[in-house]
Amino acid sequence: MKEKEARIASEKVQGLLSEDLKKAEQEKLAADHQIASQKDMYKRLQEYNTSLQQYNSKLQTELSTANESLKKVEKEKLAIVENLSTLRGHYNTLQEQLTSSRASVDEAVRLKESLVNEVKCLREELHRVREDRDRQVSEVQALTADLLKFREKTGKSFMELDNLTIKSNALQETCSSQLEQIRILQHQLAAANEKLKMADLSTIETKVKFDEQKRTIVELQERLENAELQLSEGEQLRKKLHNTILELKGNIRVFCRVRPMFSDDGSGTETVISYPTSTETLGRGIELLQSGGQKYPFTFDKVFSHEASQQDVFVEISQLVQSALDGYKVCIFAYGQTGSGKTYTMLGKPDAPKQKGLIPRSLEQIFQTSQVLSAQGWKYKLQASMLEIYNETIRDLLLPNRSNPSDMTRGESGVSGKQYTIKHDANGNAYVPDLTIVDVCSIQEITLLLEQAAQSRSVGKTLMNEQSSRSHSVFTLRISGVNENTEQQVQGVLNLIDLAGSERLSRSGATGDRLKETQAINKSLSCLSDVIFALAKREDHVPFRNSKLTTLLQPCLGGDSKTLMFVNISPESSSVGESLCSLRFAARVNACEIGVPRRHTAIRSADSRLSYG
C-alpha cells in the first residue's frame, strides 16, 4: 500500500517537474526570440549609426572643403590686394613723373617761345641796322660825288673841302661800327637759332617720353581695373562660400550696424567704438572701449560703421531676400537699444531714395526679380500683412480705417476691439487668424501699405528718442510661385521685424503708461533672450510660448529658416553699458544653431492664411 502511495507521489512529482520543464523551455524559447529580435534591432541601430556617421563625415568633408576654398580665396584676395597696392604705388609714381614731364614740356615750350621772340627782335634790329648802313653808304657816296663835282667845277676853299672830308670820314666810321654791330647781331642770331634747334629737339624728346608714359599709364589703368575686377569677383566668391559655410552650420547670422553721432547726442561724444583693421576681422570686427580703458572685442558676420549707407547695408542682405523668392523662409530682425537706428535700418524713410530702409528695398527687389523671372515662366503671388505687439497685445497695422493711435489712448486690444491670438497650423507654423492680408501687385501698393502701417504704429517720445517705437512690428510677405513651364511650385516667406528698443527704466525717463510699455518691452525682450540662451545651450525645452514675440518667432528661431539679426548700436559713450549688453546678446545669437535651411517646393493646399514660417 505504502509502495503504491509512494509511486503515485513520485508520478505526481515527475508530472509537476515535466510541466515546470515545459514551462522553462517555453520561457527559454520566448527569451531566445526576444534576444534575436533585440540583436536584429541592435544591428539595425548599428546600420543607422553607420549611415549617420557617413552623413556626418560627408557634411564635415563639405565643410572642410568649403573652409579650404574660403582660405584659398582669402589668400588670393590678400595677394591681389598686395598686387593692387604695388600697382597703385607704381601708378602714383608714374602720375608724378607725368606731372613733372608736363611741367618740363611747358617750360620748354615757354623757352622756345621766348627764343623765337628774341630771334624775331634780332632780325628786326638787323634789318633796321642794314637799312641804316645802306642809307649812310649811299649818303657817303653822294657826298663823295658832290665833293668831286665841287672840286672840278667850283674850286671852293680848302676849308670847306676839309669839312666835307671830315664829315665823310665820320660817316665812314659810323658805317664800319654799324657793320661791326651787324656782325655781332648775326652772331647772336646764329646762337639763338642753335638754341632754338636744341629746344625743338628737347621738346620732341620730352613729347616722346610723355607719350610713352601716357601709354604706360593706360596699361597700368587696365591692369588696375583687371585687378579690381578680380578682387571683387574673389570677394563675391568669398561671400558665397562664407554663406554656404554658415548655411551648413545652420547658425543665425548677425550683422552689426553703428549709427552716426548726432549733434544732439549731448554728453559723451568721445569715441568709444573702433573697428580692427587686421585681415581676418576686416569689416567684421568691432571694439567697444569702456571709460576704465577696458576693450571689448566682438566679431560678427558683418559690421557696418556709421559711414555705411542704406544701399551698402541692403547689398549685403539682397541674396537673403532673393532666397525668399527661391522658396526659403527668411527672417530678418533688428535688435538694439532705443534710438540706435533699428527703424531707420528696417524701414528708413521710404519716400527718400537714399534713406529707404531694408523693407522697401527688399520689396522693390522682389518685384523686379519676379518680373525678370516671368520670362522663364514663373508667376508669383505676393501677400502682405503687418502687425505690432504692443503691451503683449497684437494689433493689425493694415486694418482699413484704423485711426492714428500715436496718442496712445486706445484700449489694450487696439481700436477695432478685436482680440488677436496666435495659432499653429498642421506644420507647426504660427499664424494670426483674422489678420488683414493684402494681395500686392505693385511697389506703389506696398509703399501705400507701409505708409499706412507707419502711421498706425505705436510711437512715443522718450528721453532717448524723439520718435521711439513702443512696439515690435512684424512685416510678413508670403511668396507663392508657380512655373508654368516646369509645374514647379515654391512657397517662400519673408519676415522683417523691427523690435521695440531695449532701454533701462532709469535712462528712459518713463512714467505712467510709458513705464508700463517699457516694462512690457523689456519683459518680451527678456523672453527672447531666454529662448536664445536655451537654443544656444541646446536645452530640451525652449520657452517659445512665454511671450507673443517668441511664439511668433518660433519658426524662424527653432526651425529651418534663414535668420539674420541686426544688432544696432548707438555710438555715444553714455550708451556704452547698453551697447555692451546688446553686443553680448548678439554674440550669443550668433552662436545659436537653428538647423539647416530648407527650400519649400512642395505643392501646398490652397490656404489663404498667412503664416510666419
Ligand X SMILES: Nc1ncnc2c1ncn2[C@@H]1O[C@H](COP(=O)(O)OP(=O)(O)OP(=O)(O)O)[C@@H](O)[C@H]1O
Q: What does the binding site for ligand X look like in residue numbers (CB under 6 A)? A: 259-260, 336, 338-344, 465, 467-469, 500-501, 568
Choice between 182 and 454, CB closer to ligand X: 454
Residue 313, CA atoms < 13 Å, CB-side half-sphere = 37
Choice between 388 and 600, CB closer to ligand X: 388
Give least dist CB 543 to ligand X, A: 24
Give least dist CB 574 to ligand X, A: 15
Distance CA 233, CA 218 (A): 22
Distance CA 456, CA 13 (A): 93
Give least dist CB 48 to ligand X, A: 49
Q: If DSSP codes are grouped into helix, strand and coil, which group holds residue 35?
A: helix
Q: Which residue reads 559711414 in cell numbers?
A: 307
Give least dist CB 209 to ligand X, A: 49
Cα 216 to its chain centre, rounded Å, is 34
Instruction: State the Cα angle at 407 between 404 and 413, rounded to 5°.
Output: 70
Name residues whose C-beta falls within 8 Å of residue 133's C-beta, 6 or more positions apart in sequence: 175, 178, 179, 182
Choice between 260 and 577, CB closer to ligand X: 260
Choice between 83 and 522, CB closer to ligand X: 522
Segments in 443-488 forming alpha helices (H): 443-456
User: Is the Cα dihedral 356, 359, 362, 368 positive or negative?
Assistant: negative
How far, CA to CA in Å, does 376 sit from each of 362, 364, 369, 448, 604? 21, 19, 11, 30, 22
Distance CA 315, CA 308 (A): 11
Q: Name the burial class of residue 72, with classes exposed (0-12), middle (13-18) and buried (19+) by CB atoms within 10 angstroms of its CB.
A: middle
- For 280-312, give one letter per residue: b (16+ CB within 10 A) or e: ebeebbbebbeeeeeeeebebbbbbbeebebee
Which DSSP category does 493 fall into?
E
Choice between 311 and 444, CB closer to ligand X: 311
Q: Which residue reads 544656444 in cell numbers?
A: 536
Residues 338/503, Cβ–Cβ less than 8 Å: yes
Give least dist CB 354 to ligand X, A: 10
Choice between 429 and 469, CB closer to ligand X: 469
Choice between 396 and 572, CB closer to ligand X: 572
Give least dist CB 501 to ligand X, A: 2
Instruction: Kindly calculate the radius of gyration of the chain based on its CA atoms and give it in whole angstroms.
Output: 47
Which DSSP category does 399 fall into?
-
Q: If DSSP codes are grouped into helix, strand and coil, which group holds residue 501?
A: coil
Q: Which residue has its beta carbon closest to ligand X?
A: 501
Give least dist CB 579 to ligand X, A: 12
What is the edge-to-edge ordering of all strands in the sheet holding 285-289? Answer: 273-274, 285-289, 295-299
**Cell representation of residue 306:** 556709421
Distance CA 382, CA 502 (A): 32
Choice between 336 and 555, CB closer to ligand X: 336
Choice between 15 and 260, CB closer to ligand X: 260
Distance CA 491, CA 297 (A): 40
Choice between 468 and 563, CB closer to ligand X: 468
Choice between 381 and 461, CB closer to ligand X: 461
Give least dist CB 276 to ligand X, A: 21
Give least dist CB 507 to ligand X, A: 12
Give least dist CB 335 to ligand X, A: 9
Give least dist CB 311 to ligand X, A: 12
Distance CA 261, CA 255 (A): 19
**Cell representation of residue 533:** 540662451
Distance CA 324, CA 145 (A): 118
Give least dist CB 572 to ligand X, A: 12
Choice between 288 and 521, CB closer to ligand X: 521
- Name the β-bridge partners of 497: 333, 474
**Cell representation of residue 178:** 654799324
Choice between 510 and 535, CB closer to ligand X: 510
Give least dist CB 391 to ligand X, A: 15
Distance CA 152, CA 156 (A): 9
